[in-house]
Amino acid sequence: MGRELREVVYVDGVRTAFGRAGADGYFWKTRADDMAVKVVRELLRRNPQLPPERIDDVVLAATAQVGDQGLTLGRDVALLAGLPKTVPGFAVDRMCAGALTATTAGAGEIAMGAAEVVLVGGVEHMGHHPMGEDVDFNPRFVSERIVGDSAAVMGQTAENLHDAFPHLTREHADRFAVASQQKAAKAWDDGVMDGIVVPMSVFTEEGWTVAERDQFLRPDTTLEGLATLRTPFRTAGRVTAGNSAGLTDGATAALLTSDQAAAELGLEPRMRLVAFAYSGVEPELMGLGPVPATNRVLEQAGISLDDVGLFELNEPFAVQVLTWCDGMGVASDDPRLNPYGGAIACGHPLAATGVRLMAQLAYGFRERPDARYGLTALCIGLGMGAAILWENLQNGG
């Protein structure tokens, strides 16, 4: 017997401030799962009409599924957050697309009628678990030439993009980085992040403090300053710490429901999930992944890029966003693109980032009721891309 798929809506999303990874960061003495507990509890606080027992699943992502972000993270955090023991949970890993994959996994449950309310998100404590630590790469990857030597080092793949697209120069990347910092600073000054970032009390070497503002924000960044930075991935290269996202710790969580459950519980949906796609590309050029993913998601929806009013793209490296712009025919200074800045300014805690993109898009939809569709997209290590197309439900239509 056939069944009718249910519409999936985004109700709310939050994140911690993103702290610098390492001993001088906010979260050095804080557990990763406790960071995730904080954002889950905040979603419940902000949506008191949602009875905790109505949550059907908790799907949380982490790239390094070890230590304080190991176990079955969704179930671990659900229990620690005080959700009823009847609420299940699980963990997913698609590296940088972890939170987006948690979102599409949870959306699948809702669409199929297996769930009505799902919490999704991700956490990455890069201070406790540096990228690649304790990973045993199969030697056949290189010996059998399945991937090139550079595929496992994200900074080297970014240098490869500069090689492949020589017109995307270091100066172009630096200009994009300056703009990201400026837009992020303005977003904080304008109160954009007040409704997205959850302050969290943390213990540090200096005692108790409140992690309430991203630690990598550098609003005084200049082109002249960026030009002096070294290129750690290649002599006389083009990728620097200034035109890349910093290594960060952070957690995110979002509330997804069916449209029927939102109406029943008195929740206000802000976006409808229209379509999603994942794609694979050459691992050595992993930053290209969002281009085919975007094309696939537009084809699914039967619309063109001109129909999309807002883009939230991750910024692991400026050149990666520039290759998406180049491939999609979008100017790097298009006002639709990352209007509140991106990961170059706030950081990129791997599996957590996807919900940050979603939360910023939802805010952008509120400010731009004329924008019917918006895109969240990012590249993924080992040569993949992800894209989710959303419809604005805040436009009064």
Q: Which helix (H) or strand (E) holds 389?
A: strand 384-392
What distance in Å separates the CA atoms of residue 78 and residue 193, rounded to the nearest whole number?
25
Q: How many CA atoms lie within 13 A of 387 on its CB side?
A: 27
DSSP secondary structure string for all residues of 329-361: T--TT-TTB-TT--HHHH---GGGHHHHHHHHH
- Give yes or no for a contact between 339 and 364, defined as CB atoms under 8 angstroms apart: yes
Per annotation, catalytic residue among 128, 129, 162, 348: 348
Is the Cα torsion angle 288, 280, 142, 132 positive or negative in sign? positive
Please report, for residues 211, 346, 395, the alpha-carbon distance to residue 214 in angstroms, rounded to integers and kept in the order given. Answer: 8, 6, 30
Per annotation, catalytic residue among 96, 162, 325, 346: 96
What distance in Å separates the CA atoms of residue 355 and residue 16, rounded to the nearest whole number?
11
Does residue 96 have an active-site annotation? yes
Indicate the SS3 state at residue 8. strand
Does residue 379 have an active-site annotation? yes
What distance in Å separates the CA atoms of residue 55 and residue 44, rounded to the nearest whole number?
10
Does residue 346 have an active-site annotation? no
Per annotation, catalytic residue among 125, 128, 325, 379: 379
Is the Cα torsion angle 70, 27, 228, 313 positive or negative in sign? positive
Is the Cα torsion angle 314, 320, 323, 325 positive or negative in sign? positive
CA angle 19, 24, 26 (to 5 degrees): 35
Q: Which residues are annotated as catalytic?
A: 96, 348, 379
